[in-house]
Amino acid sequence: MFQSHIPPGGSMEVARCSGQRCSGQRIATVHAFGNTALACALFAVCAVAMSPVSAQQAVSAQQVPPLDQPGHRFAVIDVGYVFKNLPAIQAQISKVKAELQQHEAELKQKRDALNQAAIRLKSMTPGTAEYNRQEELVADLDSKLRLDMRRRHNEMSEAEAKIYYDNYQSLNAAVKAVAVHNNINVVLRINGEDVDSQKRDSVMRDVMRNIVFHDPAINITDTVMRYLEQQTKTSQAAAGFGATAGTQR
């Protein structure tokens, strides 16, 4: 680590000196050596202090006891089953489907009117005033039909999305209430649908599912459904009581 003092001549020999000059050089050499030794000592201390894991830290980490955490309780729920079988949700979906069927009947009448107008147009002589009027009528009926179909499709999509969104929020609240009441820490989602080995999508959903096995005892699907059904009955009873009170007033 340390290097010998080399005179300007390049020789490794120590230069001779005499009297006061030699004494002063010795003192300067001693001071330089002392400063170098002190710097090396400080570097060594800093290196130990800045080490990522020192011996003292390793011992201290080993002496710290592990956290005493209680075991966590898990549960599972089949969200798809709830949406397909909960009466309140099915009633809302059935209402939307009934409105869709009614709209389809109206669209059928408009399509028939358009077809009749198009057939009549074919029987007319092109270029005549009557033909031009009929052509404008067909174009107008076709434009209104397309616009009506697109608008109604958007309305039905938004209504269906709102049903699923609102009920999923209610489902989340019910899951939380059941979990807190039963001291459950984590609720995972499962898919209880039967696998159709002839359909690729069904097989892939089963292969890619997150939970491979679970004890049926931790399935809270039925419990959450009963909770939601009770909430629906309570809301309906409150609404009925309010309507009766309003009539009496």
Could you write out the DSSP letters of every residue in the chain?
-------TT--SSPPP--HHHHHHHHHHHHHHHHHHHHHHHHHHHHHHHT-SS-HHHHHHHHHSPPP--PPP-EEEE-HHHHHHH-HHHHHHHHHHHHHHHHHHHHHHHHHHHHHHHHHHHHTSPTTSHHHHHHHHHHHHHHHHHHHHHHHHHHHHHHHHHHHHHHHHHHHHHHHHHHHHHTT--EEEE---PPP-TT-HHHHHHHHT-S-S---GGGB-HHHHHHHHHHHHHHHHHHHHHHHHHHHH-
Residue 205 near residue 155, CB atoms below 8 Å: no
Mean pLDDT of 52-65: 46
> What's the confidence (pLDDT) of residue 205?
87
Token pair in block for residue 140: 């107008």
Confidence of residue 221 (pLDDT cuts 50, 70, 90): very high
Average pLDDT rounded to a whole number, residues 36-41: 45
Max mean pLDDT among 37-46, 174-183, 199-208 falls in: 174-183
Q: Which amino acid makes up residue 150? A: R
Contact 175, 187 (CB under 8 A): yes
Residue 19 makes CB contacts below 8 A (sequence gap 6+) with none
Over residues 20-37, mean pLDDT: 46
Domain extents for the chain?
Answer: 19-63, 74-234
CATH domain 74-234 topology? Protein Binding, DinI Protein; Chain A (3.30.910)
Residue 230: what pLDDT?
94
Q: Above 50 in pLDDT, residue 23?
A: no
CA-CA distance, 83 to 190, in Å (whole number)? 13
Highest mean pLDDT among 8-22, 48-62, 202-216: 202-216
Query: What pLDDT digit, counting tens, does each position of 103-129 carry?
Result: 999 999 999 999 999 999 999 999 999
